[in-house]
Amino acid sequence: MLGVVAALVAVRTTEAQLYQTVSEGLSAGHFLVYPSIVFEYTRDSNIFYSTSDLPDEVTSTGVVVVRPRIMVDLPLSDSRIRWVYAPFYRDYTSQNFTGSNRLNHAFDLEGRFRTHGAVTLSVRDHFLRGTVSLLDQNSGNGLSFGLGRYSAHNPTLEIGLNLGARHGVSLIPSYSRTSFLGIDEALRFRYTTRRLEGRYNYKLGEAETFYGYYAYEGSSQKQPSVEDVRFFSREAGFGLTRYVNQTVVTQVSAGYQTMDFENGGGRNFSGPVLDGAASWLLSEGMRLEFGILRHPYATIYAGSDYFIDGESRLRLTMQLGAASYLNVGVTGLRNVYAPDQGTRRRDTLFRFEAGLGHQFLRTLRGYIGASTEGRRSNVEEVIGGEDVDPFHYRVNRLLFRLEAGWM
């Protein structure tokens, strides 16, 4: 549950994945169009991440997803505009529950405009609306369970000013709004965040930029029957960005952040933060991707204002012959909560995944993969006279995917 909450609260731009292409697309006047459709089937052993200590509550199901996507690219000399609309239909084969809002929507926009002067403008917009499995199954006591409705919107503007061949400054205002409504009316929250970031940029080369930054952020959290919680964040540090063909392949930042809460039930945060992702081409047929994160996020739990999310990811992609490839990935996660009093909760997660893909035609690809993940916590509850870790779960998944079109 908290992994999804963190993803919704901290909406980050993912242009490197959203706009990644492997073909030339279709020409339509000045536009390049990339139409595609994905058919996906997943066998999930624990769809609601129910605790493994109570196996009778674990629900397995098949998940069917149909995901059309259309991406349009408009090159404009030194500028460009790209937008993606990728709705998807998702349904479940299990008869133990009924899903809602099977149709989901995702829209992304990116525009980069370079004038003849020293000013550069970048516009990004990210919008999601749909359903997500966030409420655990609890059929034993008759409580409702199933899917929750969520929406997220994150527009961002970046104004850059060149001060010479290597120097420049940037101003980055952004806004994000996230809301979630579970089938159980008690589980409802909404986050609103306004952020202003300033950067001093220094170009190390044609593709690499080193920068120092300072950011101020104000957020509000709303829940039923709970006084609104407001928190303010300040962050300063350094970062490095590297582009290849106008796509980010390296993004690393490290700094120091403080979070001050109003009407919260816990303590404030201050400490180092780190966010990095990089991709290396080890050889002509082998690529290594690495990611690391240490960042505080607000939590909806009473008595704890925030938790610290620490993650590390490693993925290896290897070419096998002329038309096949192998993916292997490992992820480790550790969440540490700061309670007002009592035991400091610590959750740890480990995920391993592997898959094999093959390109049958220029516009047809297939993929089969498997993953396993397990999570544990140092918190236990007494349920039915037994000590149970409510945050301990294991999930095994088998995935089949077929992609058709220009991607």
pLDDT tens per residue across span 307-339 = 899 999 999 999 998 899 999 999 999 998 877
Whether the per-residue pLDDT at 75 is higher than 50: the answer is yes
**What is the dihedral sign for C-alpha 155, 6, 298, 141?**
positive
- Report how far residue 85's alpha carbon sits from residue 63's, in angstroms, rounded to the nearest whole number: 22
Q: Coil, strand or helix: which one is 58?
A: coil
Helix, strand counts (H, E) of the chain: 2, 22
CA distances to 106, 165, 168 from 161, rounded to whole Å, are: 31, 11, 5
In our burial notation (b when 16+ CB lie closer than 10 A, e otherwise), range 198-222 reads bbebebeeeeebbbebebebebbbe
First to last CA, the chain: 31
Structure tokens at 94: 């299990």
Task: Indicate yes or no: pTM above 0.85.
Answer: no
Query: Which carries the bigger pLDDT value, residue 146 or residue 75?
Result: 75
- The dihedral over CA atoms of 229, 234, 238, 242, expressed in degrees to the nearest 10, equals 40
Rama region for 164: left / alpha / beta (φ>0; ψ in -120 to 50; rest): left
- Report how far residue 161's alpha carbon sits from residue 119's, in angstroms, rounded to the nearest whole number: 5
pLDDT bin (cut points 50, 70, 90) of residue 237 is very high
pLDDT bin (cut points 50, 70, 90) of residue 9 is very low
Whether the per-residue pLDDT at 254 is higher than 50: the answer is yes
For the ranges 9-23, 215-229, 344-358, the one whose mean pLDDT is highest: 344-358
Phi/psi at 204 (5° precision): -80, -25
**pLDDT value of position 384:** 67
Structure tokens at 179: 């809301």
Whether the per-residue pLDDT at 72 is higher than 90: the answer is yes
Is the domain spanning 2-405 CATH 2.40.170? The answer is: yes
What does the pLDDT average to over 40-57?
82
Query: Which carries the bigger pLDDT value, residue 144 or residue 321?
Result: 321
What does the pLDDT average to over 35-51?
89
